[in-house]
Structure 1
């Protein structure tokens, strides 16, 4: 076999291997203990929702960035909005993505956090993503959205569970940013110079809590089923 053909065959086999290899997240969700824990905590239908999430991520891997954002945004926005008090019996509870999908819903922080982790799974850089705490002017209440920065100084795109179209932040006059953060840094709107962070995101107790629970696979049982 000519060397050139051997090289092509090798590349094809390598690509096939990469495309069929399960991601770390998929391997994690396919372990019997994890599936058993999810089912016992949230019910049999929760497994179907988890599998739908895995399919959504797998089917999005080869899409454009814009299409990936849309797929993730649409999947999570299909879940049910409810208050922390009704679902978890607490005034404020930031659910992990597994808890959010398992329970079939949550509030604004849960939508934003689940989208954040899912886009990271699809290969987006951490520096491109920020969870943004805002004032939703129309509802006169605080709210959380996810911002995607195509480049460092770009006008970010907003992924939201209230207004589901993904549009630039400059067009969201209904949102007044208060602060933003990712896994490492915290930014206070209007306080930082040149976009520099003002502190460590670990200062946010609920963010620290959800990251710890997600890493340890800890699951909280909902107060009521949706």
Structure 2
């Protein structure tokens, strides 16, 4: 294959166009493979949170690109968990969004730099999907968390993300309150109420899904979030 010349002859112009098309095709393929429109997301985050937020999105895109090439699911989980636990400041919805209960999209969480337990879990969920983890292996779990440890009688609503290596495997729990990713059996402070992903809602946490609902339409806040995320550039 001959190299394109720098002089803008008709032939070199064709070479330049072909090179640009090839580069654009590669970028579009990458964005499609990881489940988001990079340009659309960048426009959304900068318009809403200003030019300074662009670097936050670039850092996230770098994370996704790097983790897609990692074969180990455990490493994917660790990197996604660490990324958000370190970068996002835990803040209640009433302060962060001036609402009593608001589920932020990953773009909103990144741009604002703040969020509560739902926002952490949802951002990690989208990130792991973009990194190549199967949706069937991920569940957002609404739990009652014992404040102060497993022996406490004080509980509050909380949300975590669970990863299942197989349908009958014990889930691994990603939590913004606990840095380590631990198996569910070591999280005696959590009592699951229901779990869900983009495919459905389950009364329990078993990955087999025998008690799966007809869909996620019962969870209107989740449906609204998915709609907003698609408008921002997630696929």
Aligned residues: 200
In the alignment, which residue of structure 1 is the partner of 2:65? 58
In the alignment, which residue of structure 2 is the partner of 1:182? 197
Q: Secondary structure at the match of 2:217?
A: helix
1:171 aligned to 177, 186, 198, which one?
Answer: 186
- Cα distance in 2, alignment partners of residues 93 and 72 from structure 1: 22
- Within 5 A, what are the aligned runs for 1:41-190? 41-63=48-70, 64-78=72-86, 79-138=88-147, 140-189=155-204
- Cα distance in 1, alignment partners of residues 209 and 42 from structure 2: 45
Shift of 1:41: 1.4
- Partners of 2:93 and 2:100 within 8 A in 1: yes
In the alignment, which residue of structure 1 is the partner of 2:15? none
User: How high is the TM-score relative to the length of structure 1?
Assistant: 0.80
- Partners of 1:60 and 1:68 within 8 A in 2: yes
Shift of 1:200: 1.7
1:204 aligned to 216, 219, 222, which one?
Answer: 219
- Cα distance in 1, alignment partners of residues 135 and 73 from structure 2: 14
- Cα distance in 2, alignment partners of residues 46 and 173 from structure 1: 38
Shift of 1:18: 7.8
- Cα distance in 2, alignment partners of residues 35 and 137 from structure 1: 39
**1:117-167 deviation per Cα after TM superposition (whole angstroms, max 9, x unaligned):** 111111111111100000111262100000000000100000110012011
- Cα distance in 2, alignment partners of residues 212 and 190 from structure 1: 25
5+ residue gaps in structure 1? 1-16, 219-226
Instruction: Pick the structure with greater CA Rg.
Output: 2
**1:89-130 deviation per Cα after TM superposition (whole angstroms, max 9, x unaligned):** 110000111111011121111111111111111111111110
Shift of 1:40: 2.9
Give the alignment's Cα RMSD to 1 decimal.
Answer: 2.7
Task: Confirm or deny that 1:22 pairs with 2:30.
Answer: yes
In the alignment, which residue of structure 2 is the partner of 1:5? none
In the alignment, which residue of structure 2 is the partner of 1:13? none
- Partners of 2:120 and 2:176 within 8 A in 1: yes
- Partners of 2:93 and 2:115 within 8 A in 1: yes
- Partners of 1:185 and 1:198 within 8 A in 2: yes
